[in-house]
């Protein structure tokens, strides 16, 4: 296994909508590397786009073991939204309150089970799914906050350079 380089904002790949995965073969090493990279950086999710790969896949682990999903899409979500703090491995040191649906239902291809699945999720799992699907659609947490909040984050990031 190998650690992969996590792309940091403002890398343009982070704003790219990823291509649908057509071939589900030969993904085991990529998922192992993504999982090792996620754990090494103390994340709970990692989308392929964050490591420079234009594929609609991600790995998550909220403490129940890694889950490998391809081509996920939300098919239902609650009207009730919950605001909670989120960080992002592509925006290190930045934590923002983000509103997300309290629960969701998604369809995806599970590489754990090698078949299509429907998953109902709430609370943290729903939040992580939504965060990672955002990545696959080229959306970052700073795209989900007000103009002024985004400006403050960009100034903070600029000062670090």
Beta pairing partners, 146 = none
Burial of 51: CB neighbours in 10 Å, binned 0-12, 13-18, 19+: buried
Residue 38, token pair as written in the block: 């996620």
Could you confirm whether 132 is annotated as catalytic?
A: yes
Q: Which of 42, 86, 113, 132 is catalytic?
A: 132
Long-range contact set of residues 24-31: C-beta below 8 Å, sequence gap at least 24: 24/70, 24/109, 24/111, 24/114, 27/57, 27/68, 27/70, 27/111, 29/1, 30/57, 31/57, 31/59, 31/66, 31/68, 31/111
Integer-rounded Cα Rg, in Å, for the chain is: 15
Helices (H) and strands (E) in the chain, counts: 3, 7
Q: Which residues are known to be catalytic?
A: 132
């Amino acid at each position: 296994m190998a650690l992969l380089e996590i792309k940091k904002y403002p890398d343009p790949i982070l704003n790219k909508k990823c291509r649908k995965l057509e071939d589900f073969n030969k993904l085991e090493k990529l998922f192992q590397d993504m999982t090792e990279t996620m754990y090494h950086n103390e994340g709970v999710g990692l989308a392929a786009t964050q490591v420079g790969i234009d594929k609609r896949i991600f790995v998550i682990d909220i403490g129940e073991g890694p889950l490998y999903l391809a081509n996920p899409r939300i098919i239902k979500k609650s009207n009730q939204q919950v605001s909670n703090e989120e960080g992002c491995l592509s925006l290190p040191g930045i934590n923002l309150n983000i509103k997300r649906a309290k629960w969701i239902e998604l369809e995806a291809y599970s590489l754990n089970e090698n078949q299509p699945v429907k998953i109902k999720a709430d609370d943290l799992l729903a939040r992580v799914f939504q965060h990672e699907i955002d990545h696959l659609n080229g959306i970052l947490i700073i795209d989900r906050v007000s103009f002024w909040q985004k400006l403050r984050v960009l100034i903070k990031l600029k000062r670090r350079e």
